[in-house]
Structure 1
């Protein structure tokens, strides 16, 4: 029988590799209420072909909410409703690139973004970073070198807040530097901000997009992490010219808004204040799970393992002693009842052999504790 969902839990294995929200935290009751209210008040519009840019109800609600949360209210002409970050990335690849182009990406970066870029025939060139995020001057040097030898660089892709897999956010001064570089070099920057609202200690620095009004920066947001991934709904902030290009496609001309019905439901959730309430509740739970995982790492992992402080998002990026290969150890770990994602998956051209990514978003505290205890035994055995 075919599965209903992407995530398949394997009996006896603590799955620390999946960056999915815990199904127990999905707001089913709030969504049911919002669906009923949407059908009662906006049923005809919600069930019709939607405007290509997205329904005005959600565009205006989203613009108002961004202004309230971030202090900068974007013009609605700069907003577009998407089918989530993955669909938005694919759409931007089709609009901004052609096969053979180069994309500049962080090292490491979101592994499935690399997959999308490969699907469009793009070559990912890795830009190193550190605990403060991407090295902007290195990105500039690489960009100029690539252009000097005749290569076309389509854009730079960055997860600006609580990145996947590292959990690192781009430092404020580097955000300004990147925005300035984008304008001076006429380089499109795609800012993936899927985790920006999932902060646990303090809100992140202003979005790169908000630092350079009118600059060549496109920002992607998603409701997958802060609400529910099955909604397949997100948003894009971009120059109005790019918004018009993205809406003037055959797919949207034929089908309208990518998710008209769920877009109306999310507009209702925002207008009723239920999205804010759900994010606050989920943030408190994930903060506690973050603390549980970090405490377990400090208690159990052997000497030589290190990780960054995690201020938000879903992930912890663990550096193993250099003689340990996370990919080679994965079958041993799974036989011992714990799984993770090896670091090699987050690099386009090699690297990350002694890194692994852990997620605390899916499992309750007791499972997180158990998983780290099992992982520790595997690592200690491999060292001996």
Structure 2
């Protein structure tokens, strides 16, 4: 019935899922309680105007079935089979099959998106767009610095390439404030922004959006799939408009940040007692943990599962698997603090066992 697969005896840190008891079941039901028949008929192609206004404005916003659905739609209107697309590395691993399903060819962007190297690569392979998660990114939890954001936008303008910004984790900030979105820094232009309510409200809603210039929004609206169905996920989108308007979203987000901050701190503090180099991300759901010299992520995984803990090996976050051998991604979103501390101890024991076996 649900995607998550529980494995008895294993504290699984691989799932980027919300903690089940944090899902706003009652609040969401209340948001939909006063809806009339208009929520259950066909809707406007781009989405209900009230939600479009809240998310960036009519004419520059398009409602989707989530970030992944948005990326899939963009591959239809921005690229053709055989085209090259650049991907930040490491980056969200489940974006790769979305790109290759369309017949696109992912190519790694230079590490850190260094402007000169990026410009040279763009001129060499003429990609259709660059996909990246610049704020509290999956898998690293890190954010692109403000000066690099400005440099990246300038390169995109000069070289005539679009930046597809996956901004899924923006609202999940625990320290300070989130950096300004590329979309906001650029004022639109060379940036197309993907947003989602999967992490902030509930993934089962399958609801997100695209911010883009009007010409791209028009192309999305004219897709046969969209026009024939009267918009995407209309009833849920109408409910979300109310959830935002009456303040329920804001109240929920405040509580959510507090809970995930506690979970992050529990995992980070427990890991730091025995594993060196663990960073505490300012937002998002993930830790990008370095391994001792000589210990590789893929080899550590079966040892970890023997110790009752699991993770995602770093190699999965490179399109060709060429990097990340010395890194593992841990999610602190799904398990409560007590389980996260136990998982940290099991992982540290597994790492010690792997070091001993070298």
Bin the TM-score by the shorter chain.
over 0.9
After superposition, where does 1:318-333 map in structure 2 within 5 Å?
318-333=289-304
Cα deviation for residue 358 of structure 1 reads 0.3
- In structure 1, the partner of 2:310 is 339
After superposition, where does 1:332-371 map in structure 2 within 5 Å?
332-349=303-320, 350-371=322-343
- In structure 1, the partner of 2:116 is 137
Structure 1: which 5+ residue stretches go unaligned? 64-73, 148-152
Q: 2:193 aligns with which of 210, 219, 244?
A: 219
- In structure 1, the partner of 2:350 is 378
Deviates most, 258-267 or 133-142: 133-142
Aligned residues: 355
Any conservation in 1 of the 2:11–2:309 contact (CA below 8 Å)? Answer: yes
Runs of 4+ residues over 4 Å off in structure 1: none
Any conservation in 1 of the 2:91–2:318 contact (CA below 8 Å)? Answer: yes
What CA distance in whole angstroms lies between the structure 1 residues aligned with 2:278 and 2:79?
A: 35
What CA distance in whole angstroms lies between the structure 2 residues aligned with 1:307 and 1:176?
A: 28
1:56 aligns with 2:49: yes
- In structure 1, the partner of 2:286 is 315
Note closer, same or farther for the CA distance 1:265–1:214 as it changes in structure 2 (3 Å cut): closer
Cα deviation for residue 214 of structure 1 reads 4.4
Q: TM-score, normalised by structure 1?
A: 0.90
What CA distance in whole angstroms lies between the structure 2 residues aligned with 1:122 and 1:187?
A: 16
- In structure 2, the partner of 1:69 is none
CA RMSD, 1 decimal? 1.2
Structure 2: which 5+ residue stretches go unaligned? none
Q: TM-score, normalised by structure 2?
A: 0.97
Any conservation in 2 of the 1:182–1:215 contact (CA below 8 Å)? Answer: no
Give per-residue Cα distances to partners, 1:124-146, cap 9 Å, x unaligned: 111243xxx53333222211122
What CA distance in whole angstroms lies between the structure 2 residues aligned with 1:365 and 1:300?
A: 17
What CA distance in whole angstroms lies between the structure 2 residues aligned with 1:212 and 1:93?
A: 21
SS of the aligned residue for 1:81 comes to strand
Give per-residue Cα distances to partners, 1:328-379, cap 9 Å, x unaligned: 2211211211000000110012221111000100000111011110011111
- In structure 1, the partner of 2:81 is 99
Q: 2:265 aligns with which of 291, 294, 300?
A: 291
After superposition, where does 1:256-271 map in structure 2 within 5 Å?
256-271=230-245
Deviates most, 205-214 or 179-188: 205-214
What CA distance in whole angstroms lies between the structure 2 residues aligned with 1:162 and 1:331?
A: 28
Give per-residue Cα distances to partners, 1:152-211, cap 9 Å, x unaligned: x11000101000001110100011111111111110100000001101011112111112
- In structure 2, the partner of 1:113 is 95
Q: 2:227 aligns with which of 253, 256, 266?
A: 253
Give per-residue Cα distances to partners, 1:246-287, cap 9 Å, x unaligned: 010111111121100110111110011000110110001101
- In structure 2, the partner of 1:70 is none
